[in-house]
């Protein structure tokens, strides 16, 4: 089924309504950017294991953490993405059901976001656009549960618990 590889998501996501399950990887686009400890930015496509990236823990505290692994190799897989833009102009690009940190201390699907946690605090979402793109990427850090992509706090997965510890 659509949730076989993300079994623990089934309780929280309505798999029946996801649509093209095969296309519904929980990812960022390859153009999404992350900030390195050096202050430079790097796209998801170019990110490497061992890179130290700005991320956040479960309490929302920001720090740099090393990328432990990238679930997707370089690819040009076609996918539907949403571009979620905030009031300050930050624009995060992810698959529609990708979980982003909402202002209310929970997680919200990208396609339904109204207020997001960013590196500059809470910001209202001003637009959500859907488009087709190619290349799906994510990254998991050693110490932190959340990744900061395009300045927005986001989960690297649909589920964020116990991934790294399993290795």
Give the tens place of pLDDT for each residue, 123-139. Answer: 999 999 999 999 999 99
Closest-CA residue to 36 (of 144, 146, 120, 149): 149
DSSP string over 74-108: S---EEEEEEEEETTS-EEEE-TT-EEEBTTSSEE
Cα–Cα distances in angstroms (integers) from residue 140 to residues 19, 64, 115, 144, in the given order: 26, 12, 24, 8
**β partners of residue 121:** 118
Give the CB-side neighbour count of residue 23, counting CA atoms within 13 A.
Answer: 13
Q: Is residue 166 helix, strand or coil?
A: helix
Give the tens place of pLDDT for each residue, 94-116. Answer: 999 999 999 988 899 999 999 99
Task: Using a cut of 0.85, tell me whether the model's pTM lies above it.
Answer: no
68 CA to centre of own chain: 15
pLDDT above 90 covers a percentage of the chain that reads 65
Mean pLDDT (whole number) for 82-103: 95
Mean pLDDT (whole number) for 10-39: 64
Mean pLDDT (whole number) for 66-87: 92
Q: Distance (Å, rounded) from C-alpha 122 to C-alpha 54? A: 17
Which tokens hold the place of 76?
A: 């040009």
Placement of tokens 């986001």 in the chain? 154
Helices and strands in the chain: count of H runs, count of E runs: 0, 15
Q: Find the helix or strand (DSSP H, E) in which 53 lies.
A: strand 52-56
Which tokens hold the place of 127?
A: 């637009």
Mean pLDDT (whole number) for 28-47: 95
């Amino acid at each position: 089924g659509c949730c076989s590889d993300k079994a623990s998501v089934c309780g929280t996501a309505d798999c029946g309504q996801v649509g093209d399950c095969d296309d519904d990887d929980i990812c960022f686009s390859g153009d999404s950017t992350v900030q390195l400890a050096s202050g430079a930015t790097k796209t998801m496509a170019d990110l490497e294991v061992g890179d130290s990236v700005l991320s956040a823990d479960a309490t929302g505290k920001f720090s740099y953490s090393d990328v432990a692994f990238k679930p997707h190799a370089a690819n040009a897989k076609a996918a539907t993405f949403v571009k979620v833009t905030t009031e300050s102009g930050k624009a995060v690009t992810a698959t529609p059901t990708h979980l982003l940190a909402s202002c209310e201390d929970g997680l919200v699907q990208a396609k339904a976001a109204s207020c997001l946690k960013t590196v500059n605090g809470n910001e209202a979402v001003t637009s959500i656009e859907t488009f087709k793109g190619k290349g799906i990427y994510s990254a998991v850090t050693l110490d932190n549960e959340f990744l900061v992509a395009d300045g927005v706090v986001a989960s690297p997965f649909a589920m964020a618990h116990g991934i790294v510890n399993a290795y």
